Amino acid sequence: MSALHLDDRELASCVACGLCLPHCPTYRVTGEESASPRGRIAAIRAVQWEGHAVDDSFATFMELCVQCRACEVACPSSVPFGHLMEGARQALAEQGRAGTWWQRRAFAVLGHHRALLGLSTLGALAQRLHLLPKRLGLPQLPLRRPPLSGTGSDVYLFTGCAMDAWLRPAHVAAVKVLGLAGAGVALPGPGGDCCGALHTHAGFRDDAVRLAERVMASMPGNAPVLVDAAGCGAAMKDYGRLVGTPAAVAFSARVADVHEWLASRLDQLPPAPSGPRRRVAVQDPCHLRHVQKAHQAVRTVLGRYVDIAELDDDGLCCGAGGAYAALQPQMAAAVRDRKVAAIAATGSNLVASANPGCVLHLAGAGLDVRHPLEIVEEVVGGG
Ligand code: SF4
Ligand code: SF4
């Protein structure tokens, strides 16, 4: 380990073959080596091994990465690019180069759920009064949220921060569908409101560890911890590595994406009603497909009730990337254009996505995007 918090063996594992380049959304947009995984690894090596400065140019190369990790899946040498980028971002954060002041403030609010709900409602009001600039590309924020309550203790449903503030109906649908599968659902206790994924991606590792410890304490016992937001699930499955304690390893082993859990109990779900079936385009969130590798479970559950329309883009990122769409709006929009074209080519006017960032980013382009379990609940009824 050295200045960039990187394992030299991991950094050395790239053989510069370039096979990852066509899978990188920022390389696809720019055609620039510096915006490719191989170029970013070369820049990281220059700092780690050759003593180059962590300067503005290095920060720009790193910040333009969406952290989608499509390059990991494409890489024949199994380069753990996510670790490398998180270490580089952590070094930038320690030098005060990570994010703007408002980004740091916004990240701080994520761990204070009541404040987040209040600010979100104020944002929704400002939107209705046309006080928020259109260039932010935000979809309509909710003025009200449906009530959400627990129904038992068989499983936990992690509710999170932005997901609960902006997409509460997805949680309500998840509780109903889990109920149809025979599971009583417990909600997290105090502190179970921000998983720390965005903090990890931005390099604020200490904050991420603190939030992870709160989340683990909010869901004691042995019940499975189900997650309906792909980015949160990926982060919580990695708590063992992030926090580095046996308790964190044990907690991570309890975490599953909600579709993974339902897919293994499909026969307990009601059959599809007779009659015509809707056709739904499925957008794979990167942290479900490339990190958790659980994207097929969405098709297993959703495909019981609707016809799936596959996108012909090999799972290319949509450009949401957690806070990326707010921080790099031009690149995020350029990446999104490709995803919107791939969705349009399916001919479907309804899109399923299991991650709040992707739902909001794609909805910002005018698409009708819903969580897969909202679509399931709509078909079978929540009872
Ligand atoms: S994580 Fe995504 S955006 Fe970043 S280098 Fe890899 S493929 Fe490109
Ligand atoms: S990250 Fe993997 S695929 Fe990309 S250039 Fe390096 S070895 Fe090749």
Q: Report yes or no: 140 and 132 within 8 Å, Cβ to Cβ.
A: no
Q: Report yes or no: 122 and 141 within 8 Å, Cβ to Cβ.
A: no
Taking only the tens place, the pLDDT of each residue in 344-374 is: 999 999 999 999 999 999 998 999 999 999 9
Nearest CA to ligand 2 atom 4: 20
Site to probe by mutation for ligand 2, drawn from 13, 75, 78, 83 as the one with most ligand atoms within 8 Å of Cβ, is 75
| Cβ 82 under 6 angstroms from ligand 2 | no
The C-alpha atoms of residue 33 and residue 42 are separated, in whole angstroms, by 10
Distance between Cα 43 and ligand 2 center (Å) = 14
Distance between Cα 221 and ligand 1 center (Å) = 37
| Cβ 327 under 6 angstroms from ligand 2 | no
Q: Model pTM?
A: 0.93
pLDDT digit of tens for each residue in the chain (383 aa)?
A: 456 778 899 999 999 999 999 999 999 999 999 999 999 999 999 999 998 988 889 999 999 999 999 999 999 999 999 999 988 998 888 887 766 666 777 777 888 888 888 888 888 888 888 887 776 666 778 888 999 999 999 999 999 998 999 999 999 999 999 999 999 999 999 999 899 999 998 888 999 999 999 999 999 999 999 999 999 999 999 999 999 999 999 999 999 999 999 999 999 999 999 989 999 999 999 999 999 999 999 999 999 999 999 999 999 999 998 888 888 889 999 999 999 999 999 999 999 999 999 999 999 899 999 999 999 999 998 55
Distance between Cα 135 and ligand 2 center (Å) = 35
Distance between Cα 363 and ligand 2 center (Å) = 33
Count, residues in the chain:
383
Ligand 1 cavity residues, CB under 6 Å? 23-26, 37, 40, 65-71, 81
| Cβ 15 under 6 angstroms from ligand 2 | yes
Q: Report yes or no: 244 and 235 within 8 Å, Cβ to Cβ.
A: no
- DSSP per-residue letters across 130-141: T-S-GGG-PPPP
The residues, any chain, with a CB within 8 Å of residue 375's CB and separated by 6 or more, are 278, 280, 302, 305, 306, 350, 352
Cβ-based neighbour number of residue 143 at 10 Å? 12
Nearest ligand to the C-alpha atom of residue 79: 2
Nearest ligand to the C-alpha atom of residue 45: 2
User: What is the residue type of 107?
Assistant: F
Q: Report yes or no: 12 and 41 within 8 Å, Cβ to Cβ.
A: no
Please give the DSSP secondary-structure letter assigned to residue 68: -
- At 154 the pLDDT is 98
| Cβ 358 under 6 angstroms from ligand 2 | no
Distance between Cα 12 and ligand 2 center (Å) = 11
Nearest ligand to the C-alpha atom of residue 14: 2
Nearest CA to ligand 2 atom 1: 14
The C-alpha atoms of residue 24 and residue 67 are separated, in whole angstroms, by 10
Nearest ligand to the C-alpha atom of residue 71: 1
User: Phi and psi for 113 in degrees, rounded to 5?
Assistant: -65, -40
Distance between Cα 201 and ligand 2 center (Å) = 21
The two three-digit tokens of residue 246, written as one number: 């046996």
Q: Report yes or no: 215 and 158 within 8 Å, Cβ to Cβ.
A: yes
| Residue 307 three-state SS | strand
Q: Which of 197, 212, 276 lies closest to 249 in space, CA to CA?
A: 212
The C-alpha atoms of residue 2 and residue 284 are separated, in whole angstroms, by 35
